[in-house]
C-alpha cells in the first residue's frame, strides 16, 4: 500500500532529513513509526500526502509515485488518505460537525450524504454527542478524536497519524490508540508516528524506527 | 453536472456567509462601488436625455432650395415631384418668385426699392421640412440637391445641430474615460477586500488544501464574493441614479412647462440598466480573480 524505495529528503539548507529510507506497509497493516524528535518522522510523514517531495528515491502510495505526482493530481491523492496532523489543524470558527464535514464538502457528495458520513465518522470516535460544540470547548483527547473523525470521514484506505497521543494523558492516549486498532480491524491501512514507546509495546505491532534520518529497524533489508 | 452545480451552490452560500460575516465592511464596499458606478451611469443618462432633446429640436430641420432664373417649368415640376416622393422629406412648400416679391413689398422701407426694379430678381423657392434625422443626413440631402438641374443654391442650416452633436460626442468620451477610471477603482476595491479575506482565512485554506480541496474549489467562493459585491454595487448605483433623476425631474418639469413643453429626464433603458449590474459583477469578479491568483500562491501547507 505504501512503499518507500531509497527515499531521501534534503531541505534547501542542505540538511538531510531522510537518507535512503526503504520500507513497505501492506494493505490492512497497522505500523508504528518511532524515533526521537528530529529523527525525521514528520518529514517521512509529509512525503506520503505530497506535502513535501522526496529529493531522490520514490514513494509509492496505492500504486502511484507521489514523489513525481503532478500538482493538479495532489488533491485527489489527499482525498484517499486520511491524515491526523500533529497540531490537529481543527478550525475553531465552526462546530465539530462542520469540521468533519469539510473534507466531504469538496468530494462531490450530496449534502445529505455528506452529513450522514460526517455523523458516522463522529460516531465511530464516540464524539457524536459533541457535534454542535466548538472544538475549543473540548479537551485535548476529544479534539484528537475529532481530528481522527475528520481524517476518516471520506473513508480513506490509508490513515496516517502524526503523534496522535502527544500531550494526552495515559487514558486518553490508550483510548485514541483503540480507535486506530479498530480502524485496522475493518481493513484500513494505518501508519502511526509516535515516540510513546509504552503505547507501541502494548499494541504489539510492527515498528519502524528512525534515527537521524535513517531507518534502523523494520525497513527493507539493504 | 450535479456535483458541479452543488459545488457552485456551496460556493455561493459560502460567499454569502463571508459577506454576512463582515456586514459593515461589505455594506461600505457596496456603497463605494455604487457611488463610483453611479457617476458614469449618470453621465450616460444625462447625455442620452440631451440627445433626445436635440432630436426633438431638430424635428423641423429646414432646407431651402433656390431655383435658377432660367429653370424651365418642366424642370421645376420634376423637382417638385421627386421632392414629394423623397422619404427624408416630410413636407414641401413651393414659394413662387411673385409671392416672394409680394412678401418683400410688405417690409417697410423695402417697398420703394422693389418698386424701382423693373423685373423680379427673386428666385422660385422650395422650402423642405425634413423628418428627424442625424445632422450628417441633412448635409447629404443638401449636397444631393445642389447637383440637380435647375437648382441655383441650397441653404441648410446644420451648424448648430453639428455643434450639439460634437458636444454630445465630447460628453460621451468624458463619460467613457470617467467610467474606465472608476472601473479600475472598483477592481482595486474588490482586490483589496479579497486580499484581506484570503489572509484572514489562511488557516482554513491551508487545511482545505491538506484535506484534498482543489484549487478551483478554494478560489470559487472568493469569485462569488467579488461578483456578488459588484452586482450589489451596480444595484446601488441604479438606485442612486433613479433617486437623483426623481429629484432632478422636480426641477425640470416646471422649467420645461415654461417652454410650453412637457419634458422629463428618462431612466436608463432596461438593457442598459442590466448591463450596469452585469458589468459591475464582472469587474468584481476580475478584482477577486487577480487578488486570489496573487495571494493564494503564498498559502501552501507545511
At B250-289, the pLDDT tens digits run: 888 888 888 777 778 888 888 989 999 999 999 999 999 9
Q: How far apart are CA A197 and CA A33, in angstroms?
A: 10
**pLDDT more than 90, % of chain B:** 32
Q: Which of A79, A108, A150 sits opposite B3 (nearest CB)?
A: A108
User: Min CA distance, B290 vs chain A (Å)?
Assistant: 20
Residue B56 has pLDDT above 70, yes or no: no
* Of B4 and B185, the one with more pLDDT: B185
Residues from chain B that touch A79, judged by Cβ atoms under 8 A, are 211-212
CA distances from A69 to A50, A58, A154, B106, B201 (A): 8, 11, 21, 101, 27
- Distance separating alpha carbons of residues A220 and A67, to the nearest angstrom: 19
- E strands, chain B, in order: 62-67, 89-95, 125-130, 151-156
Q: DSSP letter at A169?
A: -
Q: What's the start-to-end Cα distance of chain B, in Å? A: 33
Query: Mean pLDDT throughout B119-145?
Result: 79
The verdict on a CB contact (< 8 Å) between B213 and A106 is yes
Spell out which residues of chain B touch residue A103, defining contact as CB-CB under 8 Å: 211-212
Chain position carrying cell 527493507: A220
Query: Cβ of B10 and A105 within 8 Å?
Result: yes
Mutate to test the interface with B, among A105, A118, A121 (most CBs of B within 10 A): A105
Question: Closest Cα of chain B to A222: distance in Å?
Answer: 31
Give residues with Cβ within 8 angstroms of A23, minimum separation 6. Answer: A3, A4, A208, A215, A218, A219, A220
> Does the pTM exceed 0.80?
no
The shortest CB-CB distance from B301 to any of A51, A111, A154 is to A51
* Average pLDDT value over all residues in chain B: 85
HSE-CB at A108 with a 13 A cutoff on CA atoms is 8
Query: A91 vs B212: CB contact, 8 Å cut-off?
Result: no
How many angstroms separate the CA of residue A47 from the nearest CA in chain B? 11
Ranges A212-221, B48-57, B187-196, B251-260: which has the least confidence:
B48-57
Q: Are B180 and B212 a contacting pair, CB within 8 Å?
A: no
**Residue B109 clears pLDDT 90, i.e. is over it:** no
Residue A119 has pLDDT above 90, yes or no: yes
Q: Distance between CA atoms of B111 and B102, rounded to whole angstroms? A: 9
With contact defined as beta carbons under 8 Å apart, do B204 and B267 qualify? no
Question: Is the predicted pLDDT of residue B200 greater than 70, yes or no?
Answer: yes
For residue A184, the model assigns a pLDDT of: 92
Residue A220 has pLDDT above 80, yes or no: no
Residue with cell 531541505: A11
Of A41, A50, A57, the C-alpha closest to A4 is A57
pLDDT for the residue numbered A111: 84
Classify burial at A13, counting beta carbons within 10 Å of its beta carbon; exposed 0-12, middle 13-18, buried 19 or more.
exposed
Contact B67, B150 (CB under 8 A): yes
Is the pLDDT assigned to residue A222 strictly greater than 60?
no
Chain B residues with CB-CB distance to A150 below 8 A:
211
- For residue B133, name the pLDDT band (cuts at 50, 70, 90): low
Q: Which residue has the higher pLDDT, B223 or B110?
A: B223
pLDDT of residue B302: 67
Bigger pLDDT: B164 vs B126:
B126
Grid cell 457596496 in the structure block, residue? B30
| Cα Rg, chain A, nearest whole Å | 17
Residues of chain A with a CB closer than 8 angstroms to some CB in chain B: 49, 51, 72, 75-79, 83, 85, 89, 91, 93, 102-103, 105-108, 110-111, 150, 154
Question: Do the chains contact at B302 and A51, CB–CB below 8 Å?
Answer: yes
Amino acid at each position: 500500500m505504501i512503499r518507500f524505495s531509497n527515499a531521501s529528503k534534503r531541505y534547501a539548507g542542505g540538511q538531510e532529513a531522510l537518507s535512503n529510507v526503504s520500507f513497505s506497509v501492506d494493505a490492512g497493516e497497522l505500523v508504528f513509526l518511532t524515533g526521537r524528535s528530529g529523527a525525521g518522522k514528520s518529514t517521512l510523514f509529509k512525503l506520503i500526502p505530497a506535502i513535501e517531495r522526496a529529493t531522490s528515491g520514490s514513494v509509492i502510495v496505492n500504486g502511484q509515485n507521489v514523489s513525481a505526482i503532478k500538482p493538479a493530481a495532489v488533491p485527489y491523492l489527499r482525498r484517499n488518505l486520511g491524515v491526523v496532523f500533529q497540531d490537529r489543524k481543527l478550525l475553531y470558527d465552526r462546530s465539530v460537525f462542520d469540521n468533519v464535514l469539510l473534507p466531504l464538502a469538496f468530494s462531490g457528495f450530496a449534502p445529505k450524504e455528506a452529513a450522514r458520513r460526517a455523523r458516522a465518522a463522529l460516531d465511530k470516535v464516540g464524539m457524536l454527542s459533541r457535534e454542535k460544540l466548538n472544538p475549543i470547548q473540548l479537551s485535548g483527547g476529544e479534539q484528537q478524536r475529532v481530528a481522527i473523525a475528520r481524517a476518516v470521514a471520506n473513508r480513506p484506505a490509508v490513515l496516517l497519524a502524526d503523534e496522535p497521543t502527544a500531550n494526552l494523558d495515559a487514558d486518553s492516549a490508550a483510548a485514541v490508540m483503540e480507535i486506530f486498532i479498530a480502524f485496522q480491524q475493518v481493513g484500513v491501512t494505518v501508519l502511526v508516528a509516535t515516540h510513546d514507546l509504552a503505547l507501541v509495546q502494548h499494541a504489539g505491532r510492527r515498528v519502524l524506527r528512525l534515527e537521524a534520518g535513517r531507518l534502523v529497524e523494520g525497513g527493507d533489508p539493504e | 453536472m450535479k456535483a458541479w452545480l452543488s459545488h457552485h451552490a456551496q460556493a455561493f452560500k459560502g460567499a454569502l456567509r463571508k459577506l454576512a460575516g463582515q456586514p459593515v465592511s461589505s455594506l461600505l464596499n457596496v456603497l463605494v462601488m455604487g457611488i463610483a458606478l453611479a457617476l458614469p451611469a449618470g453621465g450616460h443618462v444625462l447625455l442620452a436625455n440631451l440627445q433626445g432633446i436635440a432630436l426633438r429640436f431638430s424635428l423641423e430641420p429646414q432646407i431651402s432650395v433656390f431655383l435658377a432664373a432660367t429653370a424651365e417649368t418642366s424642370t421645376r415640376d420634376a423637382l417638385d415631384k421627386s421632392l414629394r416622393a423623397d422619404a427624408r422629406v416630410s413636407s414641401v412648400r413651393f414659394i413662387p418668385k411673385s409671392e416672394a416679391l409680394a412678401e418683400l413689398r410688405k417690409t417697410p422701407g423695402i417697398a420703394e426699392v422693389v418698386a424701382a426694379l423693373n423685373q423680379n430678381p427673386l428666385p422660385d423657392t422650395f422650402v423642405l421640412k425634413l423628418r428627424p434625422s442625424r445632422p450628417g443626413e441633412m448635409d447629404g440631402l443638401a449636397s444631393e440637391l445642389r447637383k440637380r438641374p435647375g437648382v441655383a443654391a441650397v441653404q441648410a442650416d446644420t451648424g448648430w445641430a453639428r455643434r450639439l452633436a460634437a458636444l454630445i460626442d465630447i460628453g460621451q468620451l468624458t463619460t467613457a474615460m470617467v467610467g474606465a477610471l472608476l472601473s479600475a477603482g472598483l477592481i482595486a476595491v474588490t482586490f483589496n477586500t479579497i486580499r484581506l479575506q484570503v489572509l484572514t482565512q489562511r488557516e482554513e485554506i491551508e487545511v482545505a488544501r491538506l484535506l484534498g480541496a482543489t484549487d478551483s474549489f478554494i478560489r470559487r467562493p472568493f469569485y462569488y464574493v467579488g461578483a456578488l459585491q459588484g452586482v450589489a454595487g451596480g444595484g446601488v448605483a441604479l438606485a442612486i441614479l433613479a433617486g437623483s433623476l426623481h429629484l432632478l425631474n422636480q426641477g425640470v418639469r416646471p422649467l420645461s412647462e415654461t417652454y410650453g413643453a412637457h419634458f422629463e429626464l428618462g431612466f436608463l433603458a432596461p438593457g442598459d440598466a442590466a448591463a450596469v449590474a452585469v458589468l459591475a459583477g464582472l469587474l468584481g469578479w476580475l478584482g477577486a480573480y487577480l487578488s486570489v491568483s496573487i495571494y493564494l500562491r503564498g498559502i501552501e501547507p507545511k
